[in-house]
Structure 1
Amino acid sequence: MNRQRGRKVLKTNRLNIRKMIESDKTNLLKIFSDPVAMEFYPDTKNEEETIRWINWTINNYDKFGVGLWVVESLKTGQFLGQCGIVPQKVDGEVQMEIGYTFIRQFWGNGYATEAAVACKDYGFSVLKLPRLISLIDPLNKASIKVAKRMGMTFEKSIEKWGKTIAIYAIDNK
């Protein structure tokens, strides 16, 4: 299959992490159209909203040099989800967040943690970021576990996106 792929960003023992491209729309919709996977987001996304998401992500690559990246199985090439470093405005300043969403069928395999740790290491060692955060709905226990496995700790709660959001953070030491 001669499908164009985004440029590789990172590789772990089990994962290939690469830049997102427009043809990832169908795979992203497997997450965005799933009400369970999107439980802690304002709503699911349709095809048009997914295209806007991809364009926002590509714009982040151009503007900030980071963004959400596609996570694939290194062994099979199968799309698993997305994980990356995303600029987020918090308390009036842009901070870099590690964000992650995965297709529900792949939950519980450690992929989110593996990808998130790789992104944290990249953010600290390559980009020399002073700190990374994750913005998590306080009821999203699975995402909180991933943040803690990255070494993040709860910092505070804020109001964002019309609801209370917990900030988990880690400093580059």
Structure 2
Amino acid sequence: MMQLSTERLLLRPFKRSDWHALHQILSDVDVMQYSLNGPYSVQKSKAFLEQCILRSNNNEPTLLAAIDKHTQQLIGSCGFFPQTIQRVAELELGYRFAKDYWGKGLATEATLALKRYAFNEMKLTRLISLINSHHIASIRVAEKNKFRLEKKMLYAGKIPISMYAVMR
């Protein structure tokens, strides 16, 4: 099971005991403003958690719990999930943090650690990040980690998204 440590974060597999803290983040309207799926219901949050646990148990790339090292609290999720973009299999690197942790460079820190892990340990040669085209803060995180805009498209025929990519 993948576990990473950065200066301020522990990135570890999700546990069922993360349920409440995770749901607080995934159901927050502000946090999910640019999500392609909007705020999560209780059922959707539970399904998300179970999927992450299953993928981790199967040693598949997945999203991880982002734990604040100082407080030991779950403050977000970040990691990998498979995507198919125009019939091409890709691995997306994504992140989402609770509002109280925005603007502190944590997404940039987590993304750098995950990118290094993907290229050095998983031996990947490419990662993508799908970002709502209006989400300027998330675009800045991608750009700070050397992701470059590759294409723009519409999600579900209506939400403008930008696909950023980085090569090893």
Percent identity between matched residues is 33
The reply to whether residue 12 of structure 1 matches residue 12 of structure 2 is no
3-state DSSP of counterpart to 1:37 = coil
Gaps of 5+ in 1: 1-6
Structure 2 residue 71 is matched with structure 1 residue 85? no
SS in 2 for 1:164: strand
Q: Secondary structure at the match of 2:40?
A: coil
C-alpha distance in structure 2 between counterparts of 1:137 and 1:8, whole Å: 27
Deviation at 1:13, TM superposition (A): 1.1
Please report how far the alpha carbon of residue 164 of structure 1 lies from its aligned counterpart in structure 2 after TM superposition: 2.5
Query: Are 2:50 and 1:29 aligned?
Result: no
Instruction: Please report how far the alpha carbon of residue 80 of structure 1 lies from its aligned counterpart in structure 2 after TM superposition.
Output: 1.4
Q: Contact 1:70/1:83 (CA < 8 Å) preserved in 2?
A: yes
Q: How much has 1:62 moved relative to structure 2?
A: 4.8
* 1:80-125 deviation per Cα after TM superposition (whole angstroms, max 9, x unaligned): 1111011111111221111000000110111111011100000000
Q: Structure 1's 99 and 161: CA in aligned 2 closer, same or farther, altered over 3 A? A: farther
CA shift, 1:59, in A, is: 3.4
| Contact 1:60–1:86, Cα closer than 8 Å, also in 2 | no
TM-score, structure 2 as length reference: 0.92
In the alignment, structure 1 residue 168 sits paired with structure 2 residue 164: yes
Segments of structure 2 that go 5 or more residues without pairing to the other structure are none
How far off its partner does 1:56 sit?
2.0
**Considering only aligned residues, what root-mean-square deviation do their CA atoms show, in Å?**
1.6
Equivalent position of 2:131 in the other structure: 136
Structure 1 residues 8 and 78, CA, compared in 2 at 3 Å: closer, same or farther? Answer: farther
The residue aligned with 2:71 is 76
For 1:171 and 1:8, the matched residues in 2 are separated by 21
Equivalent position of 1:125 in the other structure? 120
Deviations, residues 2-31 of structure 1 (Å, cap 9, x unaligned): xxxxx6610011111100122211111121
The DSSP-based 3-state class of the residue aligned with 2:31 is: coil
Number of equivalent positions: 166
Runs of 4+ in 1 over 4 A off after TM superposition: none
Q: Deviations over 1:38-97 (max 9, x none)?
A: 001232112111011112223333556211000111222121111101111111122111
